[in-house]
Structure formats: structure tokens, C-alpha cells
Structure 1
């Protein structure tokens, strides 16, 4: 129940992502991220190189003489939906580990994560769009992805034995 609440709180805090998440993620986009994460797992990596695999080429394609910030934001939202899904999956895996103190710490963190991320990322809507393509949307993507990667590692660790 607590896990469902945490996942619902996360999804509700991501307006663009929750809309994309509700529609589902593109299978090709998800497969690209999954393949990268699998490679990172095999090599003992963290998976940071997997962040931006969907959004960055999409943003690059939308750049040009008529840079369209709305398209950049849509590109970021597209990948954010994947990392939102990955976060939900990782939360379930952490829960399955059964370590009460770990579960409590993660649940407590989830209660404040989205609000903290959104307060921080809002500043990117106030800077020149070319400095951080996708503005706050891209920031939410990166912050969520990094949070998800940590949860993925934690889920693996608490289910090791």
C-alpha cells in the first residue's frame, strides 16, 4: 500500500510525464533504455550514460533555425515517462527486499523528492532556453533518472541474497 502511494505521489507530481506515462511509453524508447541499463549492469556501471538516450536525439532533431522549445520539452517528457516507470519498478523491488528500515527511508524520501526536484528545476524555466534545452522539463528528466538509478541499485542490493 505504501509503495502504491509513493508511486502515485511521484506520478501525480509529474504533469507532463504522468500524461505520457498514462499513455504508455514507446516500446522502442523503453527498449533502448533497457538495453543500456543491462549493459551498465553487466559492466558494474551506474547507468548514467543511459540518461538522455531518448530525449537528446529528439531535441537535436527539433533544433534548427526555428528552435521550438515546446518540442524540446515534449522530448524531455517522453523520456521522463520512461524514468518514471523505472522508478516505480525500482520502488517495487526495494519493497520486495523486505528490509523495514530501508523501505521506510525510501518511502520518506519519496514523499519529498518530487517537490524538491520541482522547486529546483523551476529555475531552468528562467534561463536562456539554449543553455539547457527543454528547460525545467529536461531538469526533471535528469533528476528523476538519477533518482531512479539509485533506487535500481538499492533494489538490486536488498534482493541480492
Structure 2
């Protein structure tokens, strides 16, 4: 029950990307990230190289004479939906590990994560769009991806045996 509440709180805290997440993650976008995560898992890497694999090519395609900030934001929102789903899946795996102290720490930190991320990322809406293409959405994507990657590692660790 606590996991469902934490996942619901997390999803609800994604104001600009919640529509993309509510509509579901695009299977092709999810496949790109999943394939990368499988590769890095085999070599024991963290997975940072998997961040941006959906958004960056999309943003690049929107570049040119008619740079479109709205398209950049939409590109970032697409990948944010993937990492939001990955976070939810990883939280379930952490819960399945059964370590009460780990579960409590994870749930407690999740309660503040989204609010902290959003307070920080909103500043990117105030800078020149070309400096951080996708503005706050891209920041949320990166922050959420890093969170998901850490939770994936934690979920694997508490379910080893």
C-alpha cells in the first residue's frame, strides 16, 4: 500500500510531463532505454549513458532554422515518461526486497524527491532556451533518470539472494 501511495505521489508530482505519462510510455521509447540498460547491466555500469537516448535525437531533429522550444520540451517529456515508469518499477523491486529499513528510507526520500527536483528544475525555464534545450522538462528527465538508475541498483541489491 505504501508503494502504491509513493508511486501515485511521484506520478502526480510531474506537472509538465504528467500528460505524457498518463497517456502511457511509447513502446519504442521504452525499448530504446531498456536495450541500453540491458547492455550496461552486463558490464556493471551505472547506466548514465542511457539518459538522453530518446530526447536528444528528437531535440536534434527539431533543431535548425526554426528551433522550436515547444518541440524540445515535448521531446524531453517523452523520455521523462520512460524514466518515470522505470522509477515506479524500481520502487516495486525495492519493496519486494523486504528490508523494512530500506523500504522506509526509500519511501521517505521519495516523498521529497519530486518537490525538490521541481523546485530546482523550474529555473531552467528562466534561462535562454538554447542553453538547456527542453528547459525544465529536460532537467526533470535527467534528475528522474538518475533517481531511477539508483533505485534500479538498490532494487537489484536487496533482491540478490
TM-score w.r.t. structure 1 length?
Answer: 0.98
1:17, 1:84 within 8 Å by CA — same for their partners in 2? no
Note the 1:114-133 alignment, pairs <5 A.
114-133=114-133
2:72, 2:133 within 8 Å by CA — same for their partners in 1? yes
Q: Which runs of 5+ in 1 are unaligned?
A: none
* Equivalent residue, structure 2, for 1:49: 49
Indicate the RMSD between aligned Cα atoms, in angstroms: 0.6
Distance 2:89 2:16 in 1: 19
**Partner SS, residue 77 of structure 1:** helix
- Deviation track 1:9-54 (CA, whole Å, cap 9, x = no partner) reads 1100112322111211111111110000000100000000000000
1:76, 1:137 within 8 Å by CA — same for their partners in 2? yes
Report the CA distance between 1:73 and its aligned residue: 0.3
Distance 2:17 2:91 in 1: 17
**Partner SS, residue 15 of structure 1:** coil
2:17, 2:137 within 8 Å by CA — same for their partners in 1? no
Distance 1:152 1:102 in 2: 13
Corresponding pairs, count? 161
* Equivalent residue, structure 1, for 2:160: 160
